[in-house]
């Protein structure tokens, strides 16, 4: 005898539904109660919550990094400008004065 397996299709939930579920939990309802009332697994809710926490942390880190990057890029531009100014040979720079001293002596 052959056993036929019935394929179970995974249900897909849209982001709005996930956000509503996570909002219920953040309002203080127990995960078990929310899961039973909606007919979904507790582990699924925990996965959604950990995924949201990871995204929240990543978003905060990215915003902090971009601010730091902007500050660093601004400082790099300032330093490059200073370097370019210092590289220029001015008529009364120390290099020319040394040459003039050597010629006179």
Please report the domains of the chain, with CATH numbers, ordered by start residue. 15-104 (1.10.10)
CA 24 to chain centre: 27
Banded pLDDT at 98 (limits 50, 70, 90): low
Banded pLDDT at 17 (limits 50, 70, 90): very high
pLDDT score, position 43: 93
pLDDT score, position 5: 65
Determine the Cα angle at 99 with ends 94 and 105, to 5°: 125
Q: Average the pLDDT over 35-44 and give the result.
A: 93
- Residue pair 42/35 in contact (Cβ under 8 Å)? The answer is yes
pLDDT score, position 79: 95
Sign, CA dihedral 93-94-99-105, equals: positive
Banded pLDDT at 9 (limits 50, 70, 90): confident
């Amino acid at each position: 005898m052959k056993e036929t397996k019935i394929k179970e299709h995974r249900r897909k939930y849209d982001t709005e539904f996930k956000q509503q579920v996570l909002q219920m939990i953040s309002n203080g309802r127990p995960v078990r109660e929310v899961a039973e009332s909606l007919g979904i697994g507790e582990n699924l809710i925990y996965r959604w919550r950990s995924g949201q926490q990871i995204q929240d942390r990543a978003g905060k880190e990215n915003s902090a990094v971009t601010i730091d990057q902007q500050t660093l890029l601004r400082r790099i531009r300032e330093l490059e400008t200073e370097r370019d100014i210092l590289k220029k040979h001015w008529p009364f720079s120390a290099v020319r004065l040394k040459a003039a001293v050597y010629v006179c002596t």
